[in-house]
Structure 1
Amino acid sequence: MPSEPARTTDVAALMLEYGDRLVVGAVRDVHQAVASRAFRATRVVGSRVPESLHDAVATSIYGAISGVLRVSSGTVRALSARGVGRPVESSRLGRGVVAAVNGLVGDELRRLDDPQAITMAIRVDGSDVPATGWPLREAFRDATSHVVVFVHGLCEDDESWNAMRKSQGSTYGERIVAETDGTPVFVRYNTGLHISENGKHLDALMRQLVENWPTRVTRVTLVGHSMGGLVVRAATNHATATSGTWTGLVRDVVCLGTPHAGAALEKAAHAGARVLRFLPESRPFGTILDTRSAGIVDLRHGYISADEWEGQDLTARWGLDRIAAAPLAHAEYHFVAATLGATRRHPLSAVLGDMLVHFSSAAGIGRSGSIVDGARFEYLPSASHFALLNHPRVGDWLVEWVKASARERRAITASIS
Structure 2
Amino acid sequence: MPSLTPLHETYCKWDRSPPSQADVLEGLAQLVSTRLSQVVQDLIQSMQREVLLSIFGVSKQKVIKIQKIAFIDRAYQLGYGVLQQYGVQLLAPGLRRMIELFPDLHERPLTPKLHFLVGVLNGILGDYLLEQHNPLGLATVLYDHYGEIQQGDLAGRVVIFVHGLCMNHCDWSTQQFAGIGEKLLAQRDNNTMLYLNYNTGRRISANGHSLTNVLQDLVKRNPRITSIDLIGHSMGGLVLRSALFYGKQNIHTWVYMVENLVCLGSPHQGAVLERFGFKLQERFRHFPITKLISQLVNIRSNGILDLRYGSVRDDDWEHNDLRIGQPDDHRKPAPLPAHIHTFFVAGTIESENKDHRPLKIIGDYLVSVKSALGEHPNPRFQLNVPQSHKAVFYGLNHFEIQYHASVAEQIAKWFYPHHDEIAQEKIHKYLIKLESMQGIVET
Q: Does TM-score exceed 0.5, indicating one fold?
A: yes
Worse overlay, 200-209 or 48-57: 48-57
1:202–1:18: structure 2 CA closer, same or farther, 3 Å change rule? farther
1:345–1:24: structure 2 CA closer, same or farther, 3 Å change rule? farther
* Matched residue type, 1:354: D
Superposition map of 1:177-216 within 5 A: 177-181=185-189, 182-213=191-222, 216=224
Partner Cα separation in structure 1 for residue 47 and residue 383 of structure 2: 46
* Matched residue type, 1:253: L
**TM-superposed deviation, 1:58:** 3.1
Is 2:128 the counterpart of 1:114?
Answer: no
2:134 aligned counterpart, secondary structure: coil
Matching residue within 350, 370, 394 for 1:360: 370
Partner Cα separation in structure 2 for residue 16 and residue 275 of structure 1: 36
What is the TM-score when the length of structure 1 is the normalising length?
A: 0.84
**TM-superposed deviation, 1:26:** 3.2
Which residue pairs with 1:410 in the alignment?
Answer: none
Worse overlay, 61-70 or 24-33: 24-33
Which residue pairs with 1:136 in the alignment?
Answer: 152
**TM-superposed deviation, 1:288:** 1.9
**TM-superposed deviation, 1:329:** 1.2
1:335 aligned counterpart, secondary structure: strand
* Matched residue type, 1:150: F
Q: CA RMSD in A?
A: 3.0
**TM-superposed deviation, 1:227:** 0.5
Deviations 1:90-129 (A, max 9, x none): 3211110110110111011111101110011002444544
Which residue pairs with 2:119 in the alignment?
Answer: 99
**TM-superposed deviation, 1:323:** 1.2
Partner Cα separation in structure 2 for residue 250 and residue 152 of structure 1: 18
Is 2:273 the counterpart of 1:265?
Answer: yes
Which residue pairs with 1:378 in the alignment?
Answer: 391
1:53–1:363: structure 2 CA closer, same or farther, 3 Å change rule? closer
Which residue pairs with 1:339 in the alignment?
Answer: 348
Which residue pairs with 1:154 in the alignment?
Answer: 165
Matching residue within 166, 174, 190 for 2:175: 166
Determine if contact 2:25/2:96 at 8 Å carries over to the other structure: no
**TM-superposed deviation, 1:345:** 3.0
1:239–1:58: structure 2 CA closer, same or farther, 3 Å change rule? same
Partner Cα separation in structure 1 for residue 33 and residue 355 of structure 2: 45
Determine if contact 2:157/2:226 at 8 Å carries over to the other structure: yes
Determine if contact 1:341/1:348 at 8 Å carries over to the other structure: no
Determine if contact 2:30/2:92 at 8 Å carries over to the other structure: yes
Superposition map of 1:308-319 within 5 A: 308-317=316-325, 318-319=327-328
Determine if contact 2:205/2:242 at 8 Å carries over to the other structure: yes
- Bigger radius of gyration: 2
* Matched residue type, 1:337: A
Worse overlay, 252-261 or 267-276: 267-276
Worse overlay, 58-67 or 229-238: 58-67
**TM-superposed deviation, 1:211:** 1.3
Partner Cα separation in structure 2 for residue 230 and residue 185 of structure 1: 18
Partner Cα separation in structure 1 for residue 132 and residue 64 of structure 2: 42
Deviations 1:160-207 (A, max 9, x none): 112xx3222x22111221223421110001001111110000100100
1:167–1:53: structure 2 CA closer, same or farther, 3 Å change rule? closer
Partner Cα separation in structure 1 for residue 283 and residue 126 of structure 2: 26
1:57–1:122: structure 2 CA closer, same or farther, 3 Å change rule? same
1:253–1:68: structure 2 CA closer, same or farther, 3 Å change rule? same
Which residue pairs with 1:61 in the alignment?
Answer: 75
1:212–1:34: structure 2 CA closer, same or farther, 3 Å change rule? same
* Matched residue type, 2:244: T
Determine if contact 1:16/1:70 at 8 Å carries over to the other structure: yes
Is 2:76 the counterpart of 1:72?
Answer: no
- What is the number of residues matched between the two proteins? 389
1:120–1:60: structure 2 CA closer, same or farther, 3 Å change rule? same
Determine if contact 2:160/2:230 at 8 Å carries over to the other structure: yes
Which residue pairs with 1:8 in the alignment?
Answer: 25
**TM-superposed deviation, 1:351:** 4.1
Which residue pairs with 2:413 in the alignment?
Answer: 400
1:351–1:136: structure 2 CA closer, same or farther, 3 Å change rule? same
1:223 aligned counterpart, secondary structure: strand
* Matched residue type, 1:379: V
Is 2:248 the counterpart of 1:234?
Answer: no
What is the TM-score when the length of structure 2 is the normalising length?
A: 0.79
Unaligned runs of 5+ in 1: 130-134, 138-142, 408-417
* Matched residue type, 2:76: Y
* Matched residue type, 1:198: N
Which residue pairs with 1:303 in the alignment?
Answer: 311
Which residue pairs with 1:31 in the alignment?
Answer: 48
* Matched residue type, 1:255: C
Partner Cα separation in structure 1 for residue 63 and residue 128 of structure 2: 42
* Matched residue type, 1:378: A
Partner Cα separation in structure 1 for residue 221 and residue 293 of structure 2: 49
Which residue pairs with 1:223 in the alignment?
Answer: 231
- Report the identity percentage: 27
Determine if contact 2:184/2:412 at 8 Å carries over to the other structure: yes
**TM-superposed deviation, 1:78:** 5.2
Unaligned runs of 5+ in 2: 1-12, 421-443
1:386–1:306: structure 2 CA closer, same or farther, 3 Å change rule? same
Poorly superposed stretches of 4+, deviation over 6 Å: 18-24, 85-88
Which residue pairs with 1:387 in the alignment?
Answer: 400
